[in-house]
Protein backbone atom coordinates (compact mmCIF):
# COMPACT_ATOMS: atom_id res chain seq x y z
CA UNK A 1 0.00 0.00 0.00
CA UNK A 2 1.35 3.42 -0.90
CA UNK A 3 2.63 5.73 1.81
CA UNK A 4 -0.14 8.21 1.06
CA UNK A 5 -2.66 5.63 2.28
CA UNK A 6 -0.94 4.94 5.60
CA UNK A 7 -0.24 7.01 8.62
CA UNK A 8 0.07 7.09 12.35
CA UNK A 9 1.00 8.96 15.49
CA UNK A 10 4.10 10.84 16.55
CA UNK A 11 5.65 7.97 18.53
CA UNK A 12 4.76 5.36 15.90
CA UNK A 13 2.82 3.05 18.23
CA UNK A 14 -0.56 3.53 16.55
CA UNK A 15 -0.81 3.04 12.77
CA UNK A 16 -3.66 2.90 10.27
CA UNK A 17 -4.44 2.41 6.60
CA UNK A 18 -6.98 3.91 4.22
CA UNK A 19 -8.53 1.24 2.03
CA UNK A 20 -11.45 2.97 0.38
CA UNK A 21 -12.34 6.00 -1.65
CA UNK A 22 -12.98 9.05 0.55
CA UNK A 23 -16.38 10.69 0.89
CA UNK A 24 -14.66 14.05 1.09
CA UNK A 25 -11.49 15.91 2.01
CA UNK A 26 -11.69 19.11 3.97
CA UNK A 27 -10.79 21.29 6.90
CA UNK A 28 -12.57 21.88 10.19
CA UNK A 29 -12.29 25.20 11.96
CA UNK A 30 -14.28 24.26 15.08
CA UNK A 31 -12.93 24.87 18.54
CA UNK A 32 -13.20 21.19 19.51
CA UNK A 33 -10.86 20.24 16.68
CA UNK A 34 -8.43 22.97 17.71
CA UNK A 35 -8.33 21.69 21.25
CA UNK A 36 -8.13 18.04 20.19
CA UNK A 37 -5.22 18.68 17.83
CA UNK A 38 -3.48 21.74 19.28
CA UNK A 39 -3.45 23.25 15.81
CA UNK A 40 -5.28 26.28 14.35
CA UNK A 41 -7.27 24.11 11.94
CA UNK A 42 -7.77 20.37 11.41
CA UNK A 43 -7.55 18.59 8.06
CA UNK A 44 -9.75 15.58 7.44
CA UNK A 45 -10.18 12.73 4.99
CA UNK A 46 -13.71 11.38 5.49
CA UNK A 47 -13.93 7.64 4.90
CA UNK A 48 -17.01 5.47 4.41
CA UNK A 49 -17.74 2.37 6.48
CA UNK A 50 -14.92 -0.12 5.92
CA UNK A 51 -12.63 2.51 4.42
CA UNK A 52 -10.33 2.76 7.40
CA UNK A 53 -8.49 0.15 9.46
CA UNK A 54 -6.17 0.32 12.45
CA UNK A 55 -3.02 -1.68 11.66
CA UNK A 56 -0.85 -1.30 14.78
CA UNK A 57 -1.28 -0.32 18.41
CA UNK A 58 -4.41 0.48 20.36
CA UNK A 59 -5.87 3.95 20.03
CA UNK A 60 -7.58 5.56 23.00
CA UNK A 61 -10.86 7.41 22.58
CA UNK A 62 -12.28 10.60 24.06
CA UNK A 63 -15.93 11.66 23.82
CA UNK A 64 -15.53 15.36 23.05
CA UNK A 65 -19.30 15.79 22.65
CA UNK A 66 -22.26 13.47 23.21
CA UNK A 67 -22.24 10.86 20.45
CA UNK A 68 -18.73 11.76 19.31
CA UNK A 69 -15.49 9.91 19.85
CA UNK A 70 -12.01 11.06 18.94
CA UNK A 71 -9.23 8.51 18.57
CA UNK A 72 -5.72 9.37 19.70
CA UNK A 73 -2.47 7.77 20.85
CA UNK A 74 -2.41 7.46 24.61
CA UNK A 75 1.40 7.50 24.62
CA UNK A 76 2.23 10.57 22.52
CA UNK A 77 -1.18 12.27 22.30
CA UNK A 78 -1.50 12.59 18.53
CA UNK A 79 -5.13 13.07 17.47
CA UNK A 80 -5.96 10.55 14.74
CA UNK A 81 -9.68 10.12 14.09
CA UNK A 82 -13.17 11.54 14.59
CA UNK A 83 -16.33 9.41 14.63
CA UNK A 84 -19.94 10.38 15.36
CA UNK A 85 -23.05 8.35 16.10
CA UNK A 86 -24.97 10.29 13.44
CA UNK A 87 -22.39 9.20 10.80
CA UNK A 88 -22.50 5.45 11.46
CA UNK A 89 -19.42 3.56 10.35
CA UNK A 90 -17.63 6.60 8.95
CA UNK A 91 -14.13 7.46 10.13
CA UNK A 92 -12.93 11.01 9.65
CA UNK A 93 -9.17 10.79 9.63
CA UNK A 94 -6.92 13.67 10.72
CA UNK A 95 -5.17 14.04 7.38
CA UNK A 96 -2.00 15.66 8.74
CA UNK A 97 -1.14 12.29 10.34
CA UNK A 98 -0.81 10.58 6.95
CA UNK A 99 2.76 9.64 6.03
CA UNK A 100 2.20 11.70 2.88
CA UNK A 101 -0.73 14.11 3.28
CA UNK A 102 0.08 16.01 0.07
CA UNK A 103 -2.30 14.15 -2.27
CA UNK A 104 -5.30 14.67 0.03
CA UNK A 105 -6.22 18.18 -1.01
CA UNK A 106 -9.00 19.80 1.02
CA UNK A 107 -11.77 21.62 -0.78
CA UNK A 108 -14.45 24.06 0.22
CA UNK A 109 -17.18 21.45 0.04
CA UNK A 110 -15.44 19.47 2.76
CA UNK A 111 -14.69 22.46 4.97
CA UNK A 112 -16.79 23.01 8.06
CA UNK A 113 -17.33 25.46 10.92
CA UNK A 114 -15.81 28.37 9.02
CA UNK A 115 -17.66 30.69 11.40
CA UNK A 116 -15.30 29.51 14.15
CA UNK A 117 -12.16 30.10 12.09
CA UNK A 118 -9.39 32.01 13.90
CA UNK A 119 -9.48 35.50 12.38
CA UNK A 120 -5.76 35.61 11.50
CA UNK A 121 -5.84 32.29 9.71
CA UNK A 122 -6.05 32.86 5.96
CA UNK A 123 -5.74 29.84 3.73
CA UNK A 124 -5.62 29.51 -0.01
CA UNK A 125 -6.67 26.14 -1.26
CA UNK A 126 -5.33 24.96 -4.60
CA UNK A 127 -8.36 26.38 -6.42
CA UNK A 128 -7.02 29.82 -5.32
CA UNK A 129 -10.19 30.81 -3.53
CA UNK A 130 -9.60 31.89 0.02
CA UNK A 131 -11.46 29.99 2.73
CA UNK A 132 -13.44 32.24 4.99
ZN1 LIG B 1 1.92 7.64 19.65
ZN1 LIG C 1 -14.16 20.23 14.08
The pLDDT of residue 126: 74
Average pLDDT, the chain: 93
Model confidence, pTM: 0.90
What lies within 8 Å, CB to CB, of 5 at 6+ separation is: 17, 18, 19, 98
pLDDT band at 58 (very low <50, low <70, confident <90, very high): very high
Q: How far apart are CA 131 and CA 26, in angstroms?
A: 11
Span 39-55, average pLDDT: 97
Q: Where are the domains of the chain?
A: 3-116
Residue ranges near ligand 1 (ion) with Cβ within 5 Å: 9, 11, 13, 73, 75-76
Q: Return d(Cα 73, Cα 67) in angstroms, integer.
A: 20
Domain 3-116: give its CATH architecture. Answer: Beta Complex (2.170)
Q: Are 8 and 14 spatial neighbours (Cβ–Cβ below 8 Å)?
A: yes
Which of the ligands is closest to the CA of residue 73? 1
Which bound ligand lies closest to the C-alpha atom of 14? 1
Point out the ligand nearest to the CA of residue 44: 2
Amino acid sequence: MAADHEGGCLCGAVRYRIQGEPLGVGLCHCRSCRLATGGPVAGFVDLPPGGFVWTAGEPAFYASSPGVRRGFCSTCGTALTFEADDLPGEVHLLSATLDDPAPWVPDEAGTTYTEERICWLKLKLPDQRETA
